[in-house]
Amino acid sequence: MKITSAEFKKGIRGTDKILGELRLQIPFIGRSNVGKSSLMNFVLNRKNLVKSGKTPGKTLEINFFLVNKEFYFVDLPGYGYAKKSVEMRNQLGRMIQWYLFDVEVFERKIVLVLDAKAGPSDMDMEMLRLLREHNRDLVVVANKIDLLNQKERSRKLKAISNLMPGIEIIPCSAKKKEGREEILKALSE
Ligand SMILES: Nc1nc2c(ncn2[C@@H]2O[C@H](COP(=O)(O)OP(=O)(O)O)[C@@H](O)[C@H]2O)c(=O)[nH]1
Ligand SMILES: [Mg+2]
């Protein structure tokens, strides 16, 4: 897949007619601060289209970006801060679950973003369980792989694979620009 264009379309907080469009939606989900927005910019080859930042929990809406005038990248709020664990039951958590599990769309491919160094959190595992329970089409990536040296890297990837059997884990780094082709390939399968 080649990216030829990307533009912000709109942010929503609840039901909206954009959800009913006959277009593929590709939401990036994961913990706050794991690098969802950075990764979307990297994959789209755009510097600052998707707002990323140091303040966790900044994204309060579900933001739609039209890509190649054809499908949507969807930026969602993160679930839970690094330390102060916000439960999936709070308002943002409910919004994420509503979009992923209550809203049926034309087609959806979900990118679950993990922290390569920290590995999957309890909430990541819970999210994975829910995604599988709902038979969601899924791509799992391990971001911030640049924080690991060669040895830690293979050890960590193996450990993550063991926790998520039967799922291919794509190592990537928005910072060091690694894994873009692999992610695009997985999304076009
Ligand atoms: N080292 C490293 N830092 C990253 C990477 N991707 C994102 N970050 C940093 O992680 C922080 C959170 O990124 P952001 O994209 O806003 O995360 P989001 O909350 O999941 O959308 C920012 O300070 C980024 O610069 C990466 O691949 N490697
Ligand atoms: Mg973000």
CATH at 159: 3.40.50.300
24, part of any domain? yes
| Ligand 1: nearest atom to the Cα of 32 | 19
76, part of any domain? yes
Q: What is the 3-state secondary structure (H, E, C) of the chain?
A: CCCCCEEEEEEECCCCHHHHCCCEEEEEEECCCCCHHHHHHHHHCCCCCCCCCCCCCCCCCEEEEEECCCEEEEECCCCCCCCCCCCCCCHHHHHHHHHHHHCCCCEECEEEEEECCCCCCHHHHHHHHHHHHCCCCEEEEEECHHHCCHHHHHHHHHHHHHHCCCCCEEECECCCCECHHHHHHHHHC
First-last CA distance in the chain: 10
49, part of any domain? yes
- Mean pLDDT value of segment 133-139: 95
Ligand 2 centroid distance, CA of 182 (Å): 21
1, part of any domain? no
Q: What is the pLDDT of residues 76-101, one digit of tens each?
A: 988 865 444 445 557 778 889 999 99
Ligand 2 centroid distance, CA of 129 (Å): 22
134, part of any domain? yes
Q: What is the pLDDT of residues 105-118, one digit of tens each?
A: 999 999 999 999 99
Q: Does residue 28 surpass a pLDDT of 90?
A: yes
113, part of any domain? yes
Q: Does residue 31 surpass a pLDDT of 80?
A: yes
Q: Does residue 157 surpass a pLDDT of 50?
A: yes
Residue 88: predicted pLDDT: 53
Q: Does residue 53 surpass a pLDDT of 80?
A: no
| Ligand 1: nearest atom to the Cα of 31 | 20
Q: Tell me the percentage of the chain whose pLDDT exceeds 90.
A: 77
If one counts the domains in the chain, the total is 1
Q: Which of 28, 32, 36, 38 to mutate to test the pocket of ligand 1 (most atoms within 8 A of CB)?
A: 38
Lowest mean pLDDT, pick from 20-29, 91-100, 111-120, 154-163? 91-100
Residue 85: predicted pLDDT: 45
Full residue range of the structural domain in which residue 89 is found = 6-188
46, part of any domain? yes
Question: What is the overall mean pLDDT for the chain?
Answer: 91
17, part of any domain? yes
Ligand number nearest to the C-alpha of 32: 1
